[in-house]
Structure 1
Amino acid sequence: MTGPREPRILPVFNGKTAPPVKPVEWLVEKFLARGAGTLLFGQPGVSKTAHTAHLTACLVAGRPFAHLRTVARGLRVLYLDFDGSWEWNHELFEAAFRGVGLEGIPEEFIYYSPNTEECNFPGEETSSLKSLEAMGPDIAQTVKELGIDLVVCDSLGQMMVGDTNNGQEVALALRLGLNPARKAGAAVLVIDHATKAAAGGMGVPTPMGSQQKRAWARVSVALEGEEQDGRAVTRWTVDKSNTATFEPFVTHLRFTNRGDRLEELDLECLGEAGPRTAQRERDERGQEAQRDILDALQDGPQPRAKLGGRGGTFDRALKLLEKSGRVVRLGRGLYGLPEHAPEVSPPHQTPTSGVVVKEEDAPLIVKDDPAPARVATAEEEWTW
């Protein structure tokens, strides 16, 4: 047994011996920097994984993300998928690469998931527990040997064993699990959930759990779901930054299906974000949409396309009326009042997968596709 070591002077320097400062190397300007951590968070349903898949595809392809500049050369990305598996998410990644003009999965995209059998060490069970706290050295070694530029962690809550509300445990998990990758020269992007405190346009949300997440990150960005011109959009806002920030902007995800397959994922940047919509204004629009739907059904059953309204507010109003039993679905895309049905169907339950409802009369366009794509119906639209 060895005794306590002798104290040593710290390896310090002063103004005369200070090393030259290296400039910040941005992979995405004001968002992702080499050797730094970035936190991207949002509430369920804002499609964090889909946005990250598109961001990853842009970096691998060497093209700008939204309106933010990226490095011109293609990068190597290590995607740590603790939320899903290759079986569940390969179609999303293929669609994201197809959206930036790449067919198939490029070799610069490196994937790992403890839920995928092929990602286990020899003799290791898929069900064996893996924690972020213990994976730090392996992640760092992977970064070094494979020349990884960006490590994506999806998501923090699924990766760490400790309590995400405990500041000490969160700080330890990030330091042990992800700082080695930063030291090895990669940028690190952590996906996380947001609190509900700022829901409804009352201010910028914050990450759920311990604020040690924000303390660890050099840049923290919030994703918020909104509605603009009758369609679902996403607001990007810098929650915290240790450098110059980008102005809030708005994007729109486009999904195209072919049959039951997600064919293409792309993202449209809609420019700078305007002021947030207050919750009261949203509620008033929702109530007005419900009244319009009930008025339209007074004369008898109507197909969805004939109800008049369109956009997220109208779709949410229709779902609420179904859930309360004031409107029933009589058939595929056909709605009516309870008295229009021989037997009133039980209230429709909103899917737990966060299905995004689109109007059947608003087809999505498949880019440069020689074969016609079948447009997803209201019941078949995708979200991630």
Structure 2
Amino acid sequence: MKLTFDDDVEAFRAEFIAFLDQHLPAEAEADERPNSTAHIPEWARRWQRVQFDNGWLLPGHPPRFGGRDAGVLEQYVHRRELAARRIYQNFNPQGLGIIAASLITFGTPEQHERWAVPILRGDITAALGMSEPEAGSDLAALRTRARFDGERFVVDGRKLWTSGAHDADVILTFVRTDPAAAKHRGISALLIPTDTPGIERRPIATICAADDVDFNEVTFTEVEVPAENLVGELHRGWKVANGSLGHERNLLWLGYADRLDHLLTDFTPGTELDADRYARLVMDAHALRLMGSAALARAARGDADTAAISVLKLFGSEAVQRATEDALTDTGGLEHPTVTSLFSPLNPEPTAPGWFERYLRTFAHTVAGGTSEIQRNIIAQHVLGLPRP
């Protein structure tokens, strides 16, 4: 199957290509790599602002939020052109894809100007405070509490695995404001600047590399937050949380499809066994594109399909992990893939990450955006009609 588009979508694509040809930073300018998912080098901040000012940052947004009211198919070709050149359009993905998007949906006009627009322009960066030591995938089990006296919240508790918190300027933090309410009620969302007294951010090293630090443990001790930093309604943070993850998931499958395409380029089979594994990679890449294209067509018609998003997320993340493991097995981890990428993320070295490091990073794909176990539960209930466990 060959996916084709109407003339107006192709005209949109051509305009974006012309923009990239004119404004893309030179490779020498882009030498500095980000240190975390909330650290943006100065050259990348300038690049993000140029995209925002020209409506190419997130084309589906209205112009005042860095877009041009583009439709689903136009957003798709925008992402495809970025992927074709291996361009990371920004280095604070949770800030743009989750937090700013949630503020646009649930925030006040004042919060739009104070927080959303600066995040979108790269003036400030944001982190997402959801997971806790006793509440990972189960957000409703969170224990971080906030007392509200009518003018301010006082927050006490702890968040874990908060990506980029040590470099972020603000954390969208989910807290329990009504401990007597039912499990999914009594939760609120607060914007907490990281320079507020009482916040401690402790980076957590990962197995990938000693200098690759993104996760954080964040402790809140009597942290005072003004009432105007409440996002959405008091005690109705569950709605904000679902909206936040929804923003992340809608086109998440495209990232996995792009990674599979990159693996097709980076991994060259050298033996008959390698060829079998490579064939599986080819089939997985085509299958994900075909299923994603069908979901894309439904989305363009305005049809919501939560179950399809879960299928794509589950299949895509695990296909990337499987293919990367195959490449690691076949190379013995001794070779570095040949990668041409102007904006490779979290890579302080001039060479691309080796296969071992790339494989280790795939475990994050099966967790972020909803774990594989959660996706299987959704599919079981909404596709297969099985009872809740």
TM-score normalized by the length of structure 2: 0.26
- Which structure's residues are more often strand, by fraction? 1
- Which structure's residues are more often helix, by fraction? 2
TM-score normalized by the length of structure 1: 0.26
In our comparison, the structure showing a higher alpha carbon Rg is: 1
